[in-house]
Amino acid sequence: MAEALAQFAREQRPQAGRAQPRIAVLVPCFNEEAAIASVIADFRKSLPAAEIYVYDNNSSDRTGAIALEAGAEVRRERRQGKGHVVRRMFADVDADIYVLVDGDATYDAASAPRMIELLRSGHLDMVVGVRVDQAEAAWRRGHRTGNWMLTRFLSSVFGHSFRDVLSGYRVFSRRFVKSLPVLSDGFEIETELSVHALELALPVAEIETPYFARPEGSFSKLNTWRDGFRILGTILKLYRSERPLRFFAAIGCCLALVSVGLAIPVIVTYLEQGVVPRLPTAVLSMGLMILSVLSVSSGLVLDTVTRGRREMKLLAWLSQPAVNNR
């Protein structure tokens, strides 16, 4: 019966040639049997024409079975990690608008129509749901502090950021989804989504949404320190790959300063006595200066490569149709 209802819902979806866009709700899940049924029911109520996809990421409980009984289309991703799941979702699911939400019932399904309307009316490519906690237990203090620090760091690196860079509640256009080569493995996927928008200067917006505590029996899989360091490492790697000239120029400047600091006493001694008594120091100083020049040169070369790669991403983005706002 549940499968028949799901099939009926799929048949009733608006087709691509019609004015109304096809909407896909993407729900990555790992051991969320306590929450997944309510998530599906809430989004079915808020977005009755949407197709709901639940991707089970090696759950050891009844997450997949419960999602299937609730009428969602259930698929599985064997590689562990949210990044792997999102990569598979973006590759497999075909739609015009994508709603990405966690399966822990902490995000407000009733906000989805507002987010989609903002995406369509503003001709945007991503709308981020900024979390406004409704209970003290909804957002642990360590997670809140880490989110603030990472948001500020991202802003200092890329010149602009979001208020809630780690939000798992986002709405995307097809252009965004199909132009993003997902490289992350785990919870750092949200950072990669944000950086993709920033590096291509895509039109994006944020909207405040209620954020609730997990239901009883549901537990967070996010480790504050481990995943925080992984996210920070992702930002540094993305900074190296997307801003290589700045990255390697900074390294080159540091090496040059150390080289000059070591060379000054050697030069002063040579000018006063006409000899170089500390030959190893002079050789070290020269080696560091050579490394400094090589670092800056590498940054210049990689900056040219990065520009070409960014142009390819923009071409991939432009190759997809924009969201119809009729």
> What is the distance between the alpha carbons of residues 120 and 97, in angstroms, rounded to a whole number?
9
Tokens standing for residue 273: 């006595």
Res. 235 pLDDT band, cuts 50 70 90:
confident
In this structure, the dihedral spanned by the alpha carbons of residues 109, 111, 112 and 118, taken in order and rounded to 10 degrees, is -170
Domain residue limits, the chain? 2-242, 244-318
For the cut 80, the answer to whether the pLDDT of residue 145 exceeds it is no
DSSP states along 201-251? T--EEEEEEEE-PPPTT------HHHHHHHHHHHHHHHHHHHSHHHHHHHH
* Residue 228 · residue 121 · CB < 8 Å: no
Tokens standing for residue 271: 């000018």
For the cut 70, the answer to whether the pLDDT of residue 13 exceeds it is no
Please give the single-letter amino acid code of residue 74.
Answer: V
Please write the tens of the pLDDT for every residue from 29-68.
998 998 999 999 999 999 999 999 999 999 998 999 999 9
- When the pLDDT of each residue in the chain is averaged and rounded to a whole number, the result is 84
Contacts of residue 254, Cβ cutoff 8 Å, sequence gap at least 6: none
The pLDDT of residue 17 is 45
Q: What is the 3-state secondary structure (H, E, C) of 261-316?
A: HHHHHHHHHHHHHCCCCCHHHHHHHHHHHHHHHHHHHHHHHHHHHHHHHHHHHHHH
Tell me which of 56-65, 154-163, 207-216, 262-271 is least confident: 154-163
Strand order in the sheet with 23-29: 73-76, 51-56, 23-29, 97-100, 170-173, 126-133, 204-211
> What is the distance between the alpha carbons of residues 41 and 275, in angstroms, rounded to a whole number?
83
Q: What pTM, to 2 d.p., does this model score?
A: 0.77
* Residue 225 · residue 140 · CB < 8 Å: no
**pLDDT (mean) for 156-173:** 84
Please write the tens of the pLDDT for every residue from 74-121.
999 999 989 899 999 999 999 999 999 999 889 999 999 999 999 999
Q: Given phi > 0 = left and psi -120 to 50 = alpha, else beta, which region is 89?
A: alpha
Which of these, 243, 231, 185, 197, lies nearest to 57 by C-alpha position?
185
Q: Which helix (H) or strand (E) is 143 found in, with range? A: helix 141-158
CATH number assigned to the domain covering 2-242: 3.90.550.10
- Phi/psi for 285 (5° steps) reads -60, -45
